[in-house]
Chain A
Amino acid sequence: MPEPVRPPERPVLGIETSCDETACAVYDGERGLLAHRLHSQIRLHAEYGGVVPELASRDHVARIHELVRQVLAESGVPAAELGGVAYTAGPGLIGALMVGASVAAGLATALDLPLIPVHHMEAHLLAPMLEERRPTFPFVALLVSGGHTLLVAVRGVGDYELLGESLDDAVGEAFDKTAKLLGLPYPGGPELARLAEAGNGSRFKFPRPMTDRPGLDFSFSGLKTAVLTTLPQAPEAADRADLAASFQEAVTDTLAIKCRRALDATGYTQLVVAGGVGANLRLREKLGALAQQQGFELFFPRQAFCTDNGAMIAYAGWARRAQGRATHAGPLFTTPRWPLAELRPPVAA
């Protein structure tokens, strides 16, 4: 279907409901981010010890209307003036994705606007573009979250090459599972990082998995097992802090080693770190030091845009739209699995 005549500079509304955050934002090509809002479900899921998909979907449907209304009001953009409606189409929890997708489809249908399905991880790796200091293409992106651990060569919007990924647990998952072993409350990752601050990271010797051989893939499930077998040596609270710190050192060292390899392999001189684990301060510190030592440039989105958010969806939608890749209300596209390596727009103009 030919692209309708609508100036690409019009702002795009982005809706994110892939997991346990309901979020939306309005992004404008000239004026940047106009408004963004987020509701986190962390407290809702805490008493269940993890995200309950059905409860996540229920909360999304209860919250989303007000969040969309607020960002439209705050941005000063009447819905009819939007250039498109972007939504997270996957990967994610299918029931949760469906809520954001259906709201987006309703808005786009009633207003005859382009509907823009966005890949959640693509949005994460483009998130640094929301900052004033932003990378230029090409760059290497490290995507680290509860569901993903990827190293990607980013040559342009939509032009990605998967360099490496985790063969088992994602980094965030390894953090969460290890936190659970240490008896920390959900969500464990940030709790573990907090505990590690007080610990001695060189006390326990943990492996740096898959760094002793060439390649850019990761494996973190063995580290979790290593923590489990070391646990009897750490009976006191102070020991636990050392254990947490030693685990965090092993993970962040491994990530740093692979990032350096990816930069060497591509010859690129910019590294972008995105995804929830990108908020980890020790990782930031270590990559910062490496960047200085190796002479590459390092980019992080602000903390709030490392974790799931609507701004990155609005931006990715806008970028896709600027390429002319959006669709008028066709079949609504959502998918729980969507490999980034296969990232081609599901519906191209």
Chain B
Amino acid sequence: MNILALDTATEACSAALQVAGRTLARFEIAGRTHTEKLVPMVHGLLAEAGIGFAQLDGYVCGVGPGSFAGVRIGVSFVKGLALAHDRPVVDVSSLAMLARPPLALGAQQVTCAIDARMNEVYVAAYRRSADGSPEALLDEQVCAPADVPAVAGAAVAVGSGWGSYESALRAAVGADLSAIDAAALPTAADALALALPRFAVGTTISAAALLPRYLRNKVALTLNEQRAARRG
């Protein structure tokens, strides 16, 4: 099975290709240049594998949480790719992607936090399930670092949120932290690894149903709210 994975949810831009049982991957820090990097990156991977898009069986897409605009670039691009040959898609959370490497290396529990700006973090906690994949202990959410619910147990901490708000997060989570990797970024290779079992069991989705996971859903005030704010 040939599967292409992409992620553009953070400052990283990455792609990974599973072809005939091996994995090829690309990763770059893109800042805000995802649109420039994505197409050449994908072309490079397929050229290296010597296959065309028609030979892909499905796509994996990072759906955030992360930068709204960044996530939409990846999601929209994958929608176009999948539409072309009517292929199925698997969506993967950036927080789950962050959790995968430490769990694969033997950590029992991971607390992932991505800086969500506006003094908030996107946060989730996972434990290692029987097959090694992340199993949610704390469902992904957006909140102030001090409001992150406590998660008991020894854990590894990963993600940019830990760089921005380490002390507040430590106090809130209350877990015994064995290591903090604030420089970790989600990668398409991790998304691919998390998605392959879903292709195997057929729990894919249509590209039509592929949507960003913003978590922060209040982005503007309605006219009534604007009026209320002025009165207050």
Contacts and interface: CB of A to CB of B under 8 A. Distances in A.
Interface of A: 47-49, 52, 54-55, 57-58, 61-62, 64-66, 68-69, 79-80, 94-95, 98-112, 329-332, 334
A163 to B, nearest CB: 34
A55 B217 CA distance: 9
Interface in B165-211: 207-208, 210-211
Interface stretch (B20-28, B125-133, B145-153, B220-228): B220-228
Name the 7 nearest CB pairs between A and B, nearest first. A106-B80, A102-B76, A110-B84, A332-B35, A110-B53, A107-B80, A106-B81
Interface of B: 35-36, 38-40, 42-43, 53, 68-69, 72-85, 207-208, 210-212, 214, 219-224, 226
Given A57-B69, A103-B83, A334-B35, 14 more contacts: A47-B222, A48-B222, A61-B79, A64-B79, A65-B83, A65-B207, A98-B73, A101-B76, A102-B75, A104-B80, A105-B80, A106-B76, A106-B82, A331-B39
A67 to B, nearest CB: 10
11 contacts: A61-B75, A102-B72, A102-B75, A102-B76, A103-B77, A106-B77, A109-B42, A109-B77, A109-B80, A332-B36, A332-B39
Contacts of B221: 48
Nearest to B208: A65
B208 A99 contact: no
B32 to A, nearest CB: 10
B222 A106 contact: no
Contacts of A61: 72, 75-76, 79, 211-212
B91 to A, nearest CB: 13
B207 A57 contact: no
Contacts of A103: 76-77, 79-80, 83
A329 B221 CA distance: 39
B35 A102 contact: yes
Contacts of A100: 76
Contacts of B72: 57, 61, 95, 98-99, 102
Given A48-B222, A58-B214, A332-B36, A109 B81 contact: yes
Given A110-B85, A334-B35, A49 B77 contact: no
A107 B83 CA distance: 7
Nearest to A101: B35
